[in-house]
Structure 1
Amino acid sequence: MSPVEESWQSKAARAQQSVIDSIPLKWRLPPGTAATREKNARQVILSSNLLTKKQIEITELTATQLLESIHHGNLSCVEAMEAFLIRTAIAHQLVNCLVEFMPEEALARAAVLDAEYKKSGKVVGPLHGLPMSVKDILDVEGKIVTFAAVAWVDCAPSKTDASVVKVMRDAGAVFIARTTMPQTGMALETVSNLWGRTLNAHNPAFGSGGSSGGEAVLTALRGTPASPLSTDIGGSIRAPAAFNGLYAMRPTSERCPHLGGKTAAPGNVSVKVSAGPACWSMTDLKLFVHQILTHPTIPHEPTCCIPYWNEVPAPSGRLRVGVMVTDGVVDPHPPIQRAIRETTAKLKAAGHDVFEFKPPFDLWEAALTTWALYFQTGAREVLELLASAGEPPIKQFELNLKIFKTKELTVAELFKRNVEQGAYKIAFQQAWDAVAGGMDCIVCPCAPMAGVPHDAPLWWGYTTWLNLLDYPSIIMPVKDLVINPAQDPKDLSYQPRDNPFDKANHELYDPEMWQGHPVTLQLVGRPYRDEGLISVCEVIDSIVNVPADVV
């Protein structure tokens, strides 16, 4: 008689409980403690009395500030590690952002680093002692990657680190946790049958974004100083960062190491994944992008181009900035349109040349090409993976498969879609070059809404077209813009376009619902010139987000 097969619900409950069990009792919140709109997760963390005043100060540092303090001997790795571990533990209890918590391993490694520093007076690398989490899509030696699929929860542990994980470990980072992602990775909200739903840092009625939702919300709540190992094939770095109010970057994917990233369909390379950070400052962003794109300890990585870094000084003259208010498919909500208007006004007032830019092709048609290339076999591998454990697909994934009429492509159809992708790249390059005087960057929305309500039908088009083209882009908060009904009323006269997303996006908007939520914008640069985009964004950030004490 064969044993009774364990249900997916039982496996999920077991997995979720294992994370809770790994949190020491002294770091537990009182039963029933939850974040609310009135008292969000950050406020609960600061009032929990589980962190000392000094630990709060440590965890409020940016990655660069924390590293400076550790490397100058002002703060031990163990002291920093314990502060971030406590904050990570509290964050998970409020927003459900972890698939594995590793406090004992992290503290032991921190102690080794402290001993080595005391003995030699030298750090092991540029990230010596930095607490770091890893998304549940990347191999970590000795850990099980689940891909948010019930079928993989009891798989054998990884034997090696993914390339980008190795790069960070070699640089001295200490891994403290692994973080949630949505089922299949193909959703801009982080929810799965296996791990449950990951909540937003600002409002639990919203999702954390996806697919790097656990990474972004953990950073937003300062459980880690940054999330350098987010990944993106359709917006998965940028949307979570945007929805949680962070800086982030999707670098040119051809410059990023790819070995050790898990997927149900590893043979699909038409639209490639990128790896990049979500963080609190442009300084941190540059630090981690440099580390990923130069990958110094694996210089002959076979999955990307030869590593390089062409340092580009901040532009001193007039910038040429194209502005795309809408993609012509789904108009962004009023707060995002206001962010673009106010950013445009600040750039013009600073003497920069700002003008309207329109892509040279229909972005709905480009989306059809992108989704066909995402699922060249009709998503057969992913659906078979879910079916093997008896679990249903999540709503956003199922909806997008239906909307984009996902089907298995013939070889001739695949060739046709690849030709379309090449034509889009040529057309966009020519359009960029055709702008008189050239263009330094494009400013556009990251998404049509500032945050994603649970299970909402979200248009990915503001991010996916850049994956199709492989153009790098940066997410930048507009820090002094606060959504409110007086300045961001709903346009009651708006006539939605005839497509599956625009009407739903318009009808969903309620300024009261989004009140107080952060707003970000996306800046786009030329492929392979990631350093130049960072330099341009540093200038724009200094104009748009002027510190309060600077006149």
Structure 2
Amino acid sequence: MGSRAEDYHDIAARAQQGVFDSIPRKWRLPAELKQHYDGHAASFIPTCGFLDERTLAITNLSATELLGQIHTGQLSAAAATEAFCERASLAHQLCNCLTDFFPEEALEYAKSLDDEFARTRLIVGPLHGLPMAVKDIMHVKGKKTTMGWVSWADNPLSTIESSPAKVMRDAGAVFFGRTTMPQTGMALETISNLWGRTLNAHNAAFGSGGSSGGDGVLCALKGEPAAPITTDIGGSIRAPAAFNGLYGMRPTAERVPRHNMIAVAPGNISIKVSAGPNCHNMADLKTLTRVLLEHKSLPYEPTTVPGSWSDEPAVSRPLQIGVIFTDGIVEPHPPVKRALRETVSKLKAAGHQVFDFPVPFDLWQAALTTWALYFQTGAAEHKAILAEGNEPMIPQFEHNLRVFGTRELTVPELLRHNSQQAAYKAAFQEAWDQQAEGMDCIICPCAPMASVPHDFPVWWGYTTLFNVLDYPSVIMPVKDLKINPEDDPKDMSYQPKDNAFDKKNWEIYDPELWQTQPVTLQIVGRPCRDEALIAVSEAIDLVVNGL
């Protein structure tokens, strides 16, 4: 534990310097290159001349492509690990996405995989040789977990492994680092007093999303081929995917192994955390989700139903698709609306049936229930850890606690909110069932904006709705849509709604500022029908992106 006598700024400086010192000198950006950096890491890294052609070629492979080459002997796990570690070091130096980096250890393990493969011609599992980092919310044996808390900066090394991390290691993945997350884990931007701010992959003026922002940026910058186990209790898989232009999936939480995952208030199980991938295409999303949900090496995992997977055939029939254009609380920015309109137009032209889906309850009231269930003790545990490190709250967390009136619940109040959550689930299922042709999925925004400016109190409602319902959802980029002032002008006649989010959301929008940012959509499926959702999402991706 960090000493109370030591100022939190000093603890942070020491921790951050330790990560930088772990980067081999040969991978440190020279000053003459840094002076040309314009804040756009995604375009700078492949063109700055620091990485050689072989490293660029390896790191441009998707996870599926990389595994295919490793498993057929065309590429060694060691070569893949070295290439991605080098690119990860650049991603960190530009965007601050790592809390720990151990490339030598990773390379040693990758070489042992290569030796075993050379001897037996067998792979140890479906992810044999996949380089990856693990979010700083999970135990990894022999590594420290801080969750962005100053008072946890000197935590002892873990002697156990969280179930999602164990599933990945057992499947053959090669761990080389830990990724950043925000203080408390409850923010859609990644910033902490301990590790600092993680910057967006496309524009340093924006945040990386949260809480899996380190993974989102590292994956977007191709410092890892995919981020297989980002986590989500309110949008923490989906926001980093959306704000960095990736594919992502929040599986049904009840299907995800969660034993030994770290929680500040572990007895709070009203809304369960999920884990799933950020990645570059649907093929990777399917492969990584399958490994996690099958969790073959943990057949008696206590936190979930027995692992299973049922392959769905490719969709060859017209789909029935509901659309939520707005939740009525915070109006999406013009490019988000345009992405929805153009997607609907393409889907209709391809013969799919698309129609409005009205949410059958008040979404502000649902948000009040959601935030009450997040912090049943009034965030007492979070506040105690902050006090222990003598550190202030980050702005997003403070704003949401205040707006939603977070306080300790009485037992009758808790029972009432849990009953309300059950009522929302029943009402949503009934509304879905009432669609005459049978609805395959819902398309809606992931957030009201394409990316979040620093410290901005972004509205979570487009993601938290599906946490409180526990519906699986996929994030998909709309790849040919580029934000510009001509197509996405600010609506100066708009009259903001009377709540703590909508006016701020409207006021901050500037199409000139957002021009660099990708635009994505959220595709939502039925609970525990994750395989069907992936099949439907693949069909939509084919129509919208030609992929």
Shorter-chain TM band: over 0.9
Cα distance in 2 between the residues matched to 1:65 and 1:462: 33
Counterpart of 1:154? 154
* 2:39–2:204 contact (8 Å) kept in structure 1: no
Counterpart of 1:53? 53
Counterpart of 1:242? 242
Q: What is the letter of the counterpart of residue 77 of structure 1?
A: A
* 1:50–1:86 contact (8 Å) kept in structure 2: no
Counterpart of 2:84? 84
Counterpart of 2:94? 94
Cα distance in 2 between the residues matched to 1:22 and 1:520: 35
* 1:36–1:203 contact (8 Å) kept in structure 2: no
Cα distance in 2 between the residues matched to 1:32 and 1:421: 56
Provide runs of 4+ in structure 1 moved above 4 Å: 32-39
1:386-428 Cα shifts (integer Å, max 9, x gaps): 1011000000000000000000000010000000000000000
Q: What is the letter of the counterpart of residue 488 of structure 1?
A: D
Q: Is residue 320 from structure 1 mapped to residue 320 from structure 2 by the alignment?
A: yes
Cα distance in 2 between the residues matched to 1:405 and 1:426: 26
TM-score, structure 1 length as denominator? Answer: 0.97
Q: Secondary structure at the match of 2:391?
A: coil
Report the Cα offset of residue 44 of structure 1. 2.4
Report the Cα offset of residue 155 of structure 1. 1.3
Counterpart of 2:402? 402
* Cα distance change, pair 389–18 in 1 and its aligned pair in 2 (3 A): same
* Cα distance change, pair 368–10 in 1 and its aligned pair in 2 (3 A): same
Report the Cα offset of residue 516 of structure 1. 2.7
Cα distance in 2 between the residues matched to 1:36 and 1:158: 40
* Cα distance change, pair 72–535 in 1 and its aligned pair in 2 (3 A): same
Q: What is the letter of the counterpart of residue 196 of structure 2?
A: G
Q: Secondary structure at the match of 1:527?
A: coil
| 1:51-200 matches, cutoff 5 A | 51-200=51-200
Counterpart of 1:384? 384
* 1:81–1:106 contact (8 Å) kept in structure 2: yes
Report the Cα offset of residue 327 of structure 1. 0.5
Report the Cα offset of residue 37 of structure 1. 8.8
Report the Cα offset of residue 7 of structure 1. 1.6
Counterpart of 1:336? 336
Q: Secondary structure at the match of 2:485?
A: coil
* 2:58–2:66 contact (8 Å) kept in structure 1: yes
* Cα distance change, pair 333–226 in 1 and its aligned pair in 2 (3 A): same
* 2:4–2:389 contact (8 Å) kept in structure 1: no
Counterpart of 1:478? 478
Q: Is residue 301 from structure 1 mapped to residue 301 from structure 2 by the alignment?
A: yes
Q: Secondary structure at the match of 1:515?
A: helix
Cα distance in 1 between the residues matched to 2:201 and 2:271: 30
Cα distance in 2 between the residues matched to 1:36 and 1:11: 31
Counterpart of 1:434? 434
* Cα distance change, pair 439–107 in 1 and its aligned pair in 2 (3 A): same
| 1:146-545 matches, cutoff 5 A | 146-545=146-545
Q: What is the letter of the counterpart of residue 398 of structure 2?
A: E
Q: Is residue 44 from structure 1 mapped to residue 44 from structure 2 by the alignment?
A: yes
Cα distance in 1 between the residues matched to 2:420 and 2:39: 49
* 1:37–1:203 contact (8 Å) kept in structure 2: no
Q: How many residues align?
A: 545
Counterpart of 2:10? 10
Q: What is the letter of the counterpart of residue 61 of structure 1?
A: L
1:406-461 Cα shifts (integer Å, max 9, x gaps): 00000010000000000000000000001111100000000000000000110000
* Cα distance change, pair 235–273 in 1 and its aligned pair in 2 (3 A): same
Cα distance in 2 between the residues matched to 1:194 and 1:485: 38
Cα distance in 1 between the residues matched to 2:100 and 2:108: 17
Q: What is the letter of the counterpart of residue 424 of structure 1?
A: Y
* Cα distance change, pair 37–484 in 1 and its aligned pair in 2 (3 A): farther
Q: Unaligned regions of 5+ residues in structure 2, if any?
A: none
Q: Secondary structure at the match of 1:127?
A: coil
* Cα distance change, pair 36–138 in 1 and its aligned pair in 2 (3 A): farther
1:138-169 Cα shifts (integer Å, max 9, x gaps): 00001111010011111111111111111110
1:268-313 Cα shifts (integer Å, max 9, x gaps): 1000000000000000000011011110000110001121112111
Q: Unaligned regions of 5+ residues in structure 1, if any?
A: none
Cα distance in 2 between the residues matched to 1:36 and 1:542: 38
Cα distance in 2 between the residues matched to 1:285 and 1:250: 10
* 2:4–2:390 contact (8 Å) kept in structure 1: no
Cα distance in 2 between the residues matched to 1:89 and 1:37: 15
Cα distance in 1 between the residues matched to 2:325 and 2:37: 29
1:13-36 Cα shifts (integer Å, max 9, x gaps): 110000000001110012385599
Q: Secondary structure at the match of 2:165?
A: helix
Q: CA RMSD for the aligned pairs? A: 1.2
* 1:36–1:204 contact (8 Å) kept in structure 2: no
Report the Cα offset of residue 530 of structure 1. 0.3
Q: Secondary structure at the match of 1:133?
A: strand
* Cα distance change, pair 202–15 in 1 and its aligned pair in 2 (3 A): same
Report the Cα offset of residue 47 of structure 1. 3.2
1:73-130 Cα shifts (integer Å, max 9, x gaps): 1111111111101000011000000000011111100110110111111111111110
* 2:4–2:388 contact (8 Å) kept in structure 1: no
| Range with bigger deviation, 538-547 or 421-430 | 538-547
Cα distance in 1 between the residues matched to 2:465 and 2:106: 39
Q: Secondary structure at the match of 1:405?
A: coil
Cα distance in 2 between the residues matched to 1:88 and 1:39: 17
* 1:29–1:48 contact (8 Å) kept in structure 2: no
* Cα distance change, pair 151–33 in 1 and its aligned pair in 2 (3 A): farther
| Range with bigger deviation, 228-237 or 27-36 | 27-36
Cα distance in 2 between the residues matched to 1:176 and 1:134: 8
Cα distance in 2 between the residues matched to 1:451 and 1:232: 17
Cα distance in 2 between the residues matched to 1:411 and 1:136: 32
Cα distance in 1 between the residues matched to 2:225 and 2:284: 9
Q: Secondary structure at the match of 1:438?
A: coil
* 1:35–1:41 contact (8 Å) kept in structure 2: no
Cα distance in 2 between the residues matched to 1:500 and 1:39: 31
Cα distance in 2 between the residues matched to 1:528 and 1:444: 20
Q: What is the letter of the counterpart of residue 304 of structure 1?
A: T
Q: What is the letter of the counterpart of residue 442 of structure 2?
A: I
Cα distance in 1 between the residues matched to 2:515 and 2:256: 37
| Range with bigger deviation, 43-52 or 376-385 | 43-52
* 2:206–2:453 contact (8 Å) kept in structure 1: yes
